[in-house]
């Protein structure tokens, strides 16, 4: 009984941290609301899909930015996609970088774009790690017999 | 049998022709009766003798005797002829006759010699038989009397046992005994209670016997049967004894019957009385309930009116004296209202007609509200109040919110009331098994289960305290300890009693600990509350509950078109939660393909697509 409480507390603290540091925003909370008994792994599935999509997009972006003649519209489309996904998930920082990326795209600022790409990649890998840790903690709590106390 | 005809000769001969038996009997009798027999022989009738002789020896002796007589007669007759001169023939005849006579008489004499002992013995035998017959007659008489007596006894017993009435028994006994034994007077003496004396209780002829008593050891009593005027036969005494036994048995039966009849009558009376009492009690309870039901409303209405109007009056312009008076009125009427409520509640609690209103409620909110209610009063008295709710205390619980609050309020109210200084601390937590059992409550057996928990609330104050011996009295109605009554008589006296009943209804336990006067006290109660099933009962402002049954858009068919997989998934889930029937498409073509299937009417919602911001569907 006490270990569950402890794990729960750990989870709550960690999640709080993520929110405080701006990694996650209210959208993530609301995603949790959509998860229930009929759809218990919704968030995990969604986030996994996000990871897949994002990785694909980032690779595409990297390739596109190495071209001789950069197709800014294509890049803009990719970034737009990424922005949409990240805002759907609620990974705030990634979304913010995407907004900046799009601005640079419109300005056809290649250095800005490359800088943004790098930033996006960083933020993405950061948030990916954090989310993976969060999910691992959730798994531990569930395994110990407790329940996930959303919203946090 | 023996008293009928005298035995015929044939019978006698028959009996005599069994020599062995007779001989034996004869020899027995001879010893005692021999002398008498010899005497009797001399008085025997000669004709009978001859008769015996004749029939015993048969015809031979008779013939001989006949011959003798004839010859003797003939001789004497012939002798007549010899009186004168007689011829030789006559002399010869005479001589022949004489010789014959002599011969016959010799022969007879010889015969007789043989016969006479037998005859004598026959005679003795006959006499012996006569005696025997007489004896048997006597015995017959005895047996007859005995039989008669037996019959009398049986009849008496029958009479006695046929009734279970004491008097009848005794009367019958006396009457029948008198008849059987041909008594002039019959008296019944019974031992007294002490067993040392005999008391005359019933007599046959005299109607009302005076209470003569006679000591039981008096020797006269034993002599009665020896020296009385009447010669008592053994069988008569036996009869009396038997009768006495029977009477005793019958009397004891009669006594038992009387006893059981009396007991039965008593029980019936008691039953009737109990039934009556029960009906009276029921009527009283019904009357009281009716009274309470009426008074419930009737008493509360004016009370509330008084309170409401006094409060209103307080708001108006008043002189200081008036204000004081109004405040007193308000305080007193509040107290009265509380008392009335308490009394009505308590009486409903008493007959067990009160039932808890179970419902799901916010436990934390209850405590917060109680705190809000008590804070003003506490701050006036400058008593800091702290509330500690354990982190594992469930937010929601199932129970009777109103009465739980009433209990908590009462307990905390008492703490505030009886403290002049110090702080008041309220702790609430989920009681685990160790803290559940209390040595003070030996018959409180909390049973933890999966959907219940035990809430333990402790209210500690640093007030007046209570004398430990007075603690049990606190929970009884209207009981005031001396100190309470004199110092602070604002207590209604019912509060804790009601709390105890509520707590008991909630399958819990309440008690108070105090170290003594001036040392403060701690009130503790434990109640059983239910855990609500759906733990996510918290109100969600964003979404309605994930309940596919109740929806805002029941069954609305929605097609979500989005090329971003993540967004598509989120939107789909959102709409599913709203109860829509959602299909997804990731491109225009797919969308058209799905739409062409079966949609008639279409509402279009704009979804941000990178390729075309404005999407046009024809049809």
The domain spans of chain A are: 1-144
A77 contacts B566? CB cut-off 8 A: no
- Which residues of B fall within a CB distance of 8 Å from A49? 565-566, 569
pLDDT at position B485 is 39
CB atoms within 10 A of CB B246: 19
Nearest by CB: A53 against B535, B540, B566: B566
pLDDT at position B37 is 46
- Which residues of B fall within a CB distance of 8 Å from A42? 573
10 Å CB burial of residue B253 (0-12, 13-18, 19+) is: middle
- Report the complex ipTM: 0.82
Mean pLDDT of chain B: 75
10 Å CB burial of residue B385 (0-12, 13-18, 19+) is: buried
pLDDT at position B277 is 95
Report the DSSP beta bridge partners of residue B528: B454
B566 contacts A89? CB cut-off 8 A: yes
B392 contacts A85? CB cut-off 8 A: no
Say what percent of chain B tops pLDDT 90: 8
B569 contacts A81? CB cut-off 8 A: no
B574 contacts A34? CB cut-off 8 A: yes
Distance CA B521, CA B459 (A): 8
Whether the CB of A110 is below 8 Å from some CB of chain B: the reply is no
Whether the CB of A89 is below 8 Å from some CB of chain B: the reply is yes
Residues 6+ apart with CB under 8 A from B105: B68
Chain Cα centroid distance, residue B16: 79
The most confident of the ranges B21-35, B200-214, B436-450 is B200-214
* B5: confidence class by pLDDT, cuts 50, 70, 90: low
Rounded to two decimals, the pTM is: 0.34
* Chain B residue with Cα closest to A42: B573
Report the DSSP beta bridge partners of residue B187: B203
Distance CA A97, CA B345 (A): 67
pLDDT digits (tens, 9 = 90+) for B551-601: 455 567 777 878 788 888 888 888 887 777 888 888 777 777 776 665 555
- Which residues of A fall within a CB distance of 8 Å from B567? 84-85, 88
Three-state helix/strand/coil letters over chain A? CHHHHHHHHHHHHHHHHHHHCCCECHHHHHHHHHCECCECCHHHHHHHHHHHHHHHHHHHHHHHHCCCCCCHHHHHHHHHHHHHHHHHHCEHHHHHHHHHHHHHHHHCCHHHHHHHHHHHHHHHHHHHHHHHHHHHHHHHHHHCCCCCCCCC
| pLDDT at residue B39 is higher than 50 | no
A81 contacts B564? CB cut-off 8 A: yes
pLDDT at position B32 is 42
Whether the CB of A72 is below 8 Å from some CB of chain B: the reply is no
User: How many CB pairs lie under 8 A apart between chains A and B?
Assistant: 53
| pLDDT at residue B536 is higher than 60 | no
Distance CA A49, CA A31 (A): 14
Give the residue among B391, B397, B402, B516 at the shortest CA–CA distance from B453. B397
Mutation choice for A interface testing from B535, B547, B564 by most A CBs within 10 A: B564
- Which residues of B fall within a CB distance of 8 Å from A5? 392
Lowest mean pLDDT among A47-61, B197-211, B275-289: B197-211
Write down the CATH superfamily of domain A1-144. Answer: HPT domain (1.20.120.160)
| pLDDT at residue B198 is higher than 70 | no
- Which residues of B fall within a CB distance of 8 Å from A80? 610
Whether the CB of A152 is below 8 Å from some CB of chain B: the reply is no
| pLDDT at residue A90 is higher than 60 | yes
**E strand intervals along B297-366:** 359-362
- Which residues of B fall within a CB distance of 8 Å from A50? 566
B573 contacts A39? CB cut-off 8 A: yes
The position carrying tokens 């009427």 is B333
Mean pLDDT of B217-243: 69
Of the two residues B473 and B333, the one the predictor is more confident about is B333
- The one-character DSSP state at B535 is S
Distance CA B200, CA B197 (A): 10
B584 φ, ψ (degrees, to nearest 5): -120, 150
A46 contacts B540? CB cut-off 8 A: no
- Which residues of A fall within a CB distance of 8 Å from B534? none
Mean pLDDT of B53-78: 79
Of the two residues B282 and B550, the one the predictor is more confident about is B282
| pLDDT at residue B490 is higher than 60 | no
Of the two residues A117 and B540, the one the predictor is more confident about is A117
B573 contacts A85? CB cut-off 8 A: no
pLDDT at position B226 is 58
- Give whole-number Cα distances, A35 to A32, A43, A125, A151, B572, in Å: 5, 7, 25, 12, 12
pLDDT at position B49 is 62
CB atoms within 10 A of CB B500: 21
pLDDT digits (tens, 9 = 90+) for B298-354: 888 888 899 899 988 888 888 988 988 898 888 888 888 878 877 777 776 666 666
B570 contacts A49? CB cut-off 8 A: no
| pLDDT at residue A23 is higher than 70 | yes
pLDDT at position B30 is 44
Q: How distant is the Cα of B565 from the closest Cα of chain A, in angstroms?
A: 8
* Chain A residue with Cα closest to B547: A36
């Amino acid at each position: 009984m006490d270990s569950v409480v402890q794990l729960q507390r750990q989870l709550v603290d960690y999640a709080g941290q993520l929110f405080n540091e701006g990694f996650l925003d209210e959208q993530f909370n609301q995603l949790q609301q959509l998860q229930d008994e009929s759809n218990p792994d919704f968030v995990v599935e969604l986030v996994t899909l996000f990871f897949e999509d994002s990785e694909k997009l980032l690779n595409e972006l990297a390739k596109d930015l190495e071209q001789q003649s950069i197709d800014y519209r294509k890049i803009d489309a990719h970034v737009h996609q990424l922005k949409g996904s990240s805002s759907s998930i609620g990974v705030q920082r990634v979304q913010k970088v995407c907004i900046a990326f799009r601005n640079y795209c419109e300005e056809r600022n290649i250095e800005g774009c490359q800088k943004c790409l790098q930033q996006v990649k960083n933020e993405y890998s950061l948030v990916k790690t954090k989310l993976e840790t969060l999910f691992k903690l959730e798994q531990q709590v569930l395994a110990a017999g407790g329940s996930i106390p959303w919203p946090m | 049998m023996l008293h009928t005809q005298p035995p015929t000769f044939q019978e006698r001969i028959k009996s005599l022709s069994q020599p062995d038996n007779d001989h034996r009997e004869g020899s027995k009798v001879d010893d005692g009766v021999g002398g008498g027999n010899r005497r009797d022989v001399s008085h025997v009738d000669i004709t009978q003798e001859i008769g015996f002789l004749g029939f015993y020896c048969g015809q031979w002796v008779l013939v001989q005797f006949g011959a003798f007589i004839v010859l003797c007669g003939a001789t004497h007759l012939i002798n007549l002829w010899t009186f004168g001169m007689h011829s030789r023939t006559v002399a010869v005849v005479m001589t022949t006759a004489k010789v014959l006579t002599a011969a016959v008489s010799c022969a007879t004499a010889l015969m007789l010699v043989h016969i006479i002992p037998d005859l004598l013995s026959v005679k003795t035998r006959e006499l012996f038989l006569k005696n025997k017959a007489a004896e048997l007659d006597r015995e017959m008489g005895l047996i007859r009397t005995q039989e008669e007596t037996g019959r009398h006894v049986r009849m008496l017993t029958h009479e006695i046992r046929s009734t279970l009435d004491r008097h009848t028994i005794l009367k019958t006994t006396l009457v029948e005994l008198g008849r059987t034994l041909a008594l002039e007077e019959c008296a019944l003496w019974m031992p007294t209670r002490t067993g040392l004396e005999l008391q005359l209780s019933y007599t046959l002829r005299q109607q009302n016997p005076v209470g003569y008593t006679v000591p039981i050891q008096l020797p006269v009593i034993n002599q009665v049967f020896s020296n009385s005027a009447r010669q008592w036969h053994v069988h008569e005494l036996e009869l009396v004894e038997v009768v006495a036994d029977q009477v005793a048995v019958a009397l004891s039966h009669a006594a038992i019957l009387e006893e059981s009849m009396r007991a039965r009558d008593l029980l019936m009376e008691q039953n009737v009385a109990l039934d009556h009492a029960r009906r009276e009690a029921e009527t009283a309870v019904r009357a009281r309930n009716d009274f309470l039901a009426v008074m419930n409303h009737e008493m509360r209405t004016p009370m509330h009116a008084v309170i409401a109007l006094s409060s209103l009056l307080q708001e108006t312009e008043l002189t200081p004296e008036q204000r004081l008076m109004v405040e007193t009125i308000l305080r007193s009427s509040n107290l009265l209202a509380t008392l009335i409520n308490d009394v009505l509640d308590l009486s409903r609690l008493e007959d067990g007609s009160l039932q808890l209103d179970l419902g799901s409620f916010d436990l934390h909110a209850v405590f917060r509200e109680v705190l809000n209610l008590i804070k003003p009063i506490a701050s006036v008295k400058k008593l800091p109040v702290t509330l500690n709710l354990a982190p594992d205390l469930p937010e929601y619980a199932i129970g009777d919110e109103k009465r739980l609050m009433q209990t908590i309020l009462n307990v905390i109210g008492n703490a505030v009331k009886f403290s002049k200084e110090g702080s008041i601390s309220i702790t609430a937590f989920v009681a685990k098994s160790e803290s559940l059992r209390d040595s003070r409550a030996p018959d409180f057996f909390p049973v933890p289960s999966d959907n219940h928990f035990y809430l333990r609330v402790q209210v500690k104050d640093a007030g007046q305290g209570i004398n430990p011996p007075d603690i049990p009295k606190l929970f009884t109605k209207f009981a005031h300890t001396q100190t309470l009554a004199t110092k602070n008589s604002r207590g209604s006296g019912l509060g804790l009693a009601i709390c105890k009943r509520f707590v008991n209804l909630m399958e819990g336990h309440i008690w108070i600990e105090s170290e003594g006067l001036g040392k403060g006290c701690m009130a503790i109660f434990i109640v059983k509350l239910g855990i609500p099933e759906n733990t996510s009962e918290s109100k969600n402002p964003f979404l309605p509950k994930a309940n596919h049954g109740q929806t805002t858009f029941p069954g609305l068919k929605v097609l979500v078109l989005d090329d971003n997989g993540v967004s598509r998934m989120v939107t789909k889930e959102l709409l599913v939660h709203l109860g829509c029937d959602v299909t997804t498409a990731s491109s225009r073509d797919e969308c058209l393909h799905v739409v062409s299937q079966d949609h008639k009417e279409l509402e279009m919602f704009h979804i941000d697509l990178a390729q075309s911001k404005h999407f046009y569907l024809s049809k």
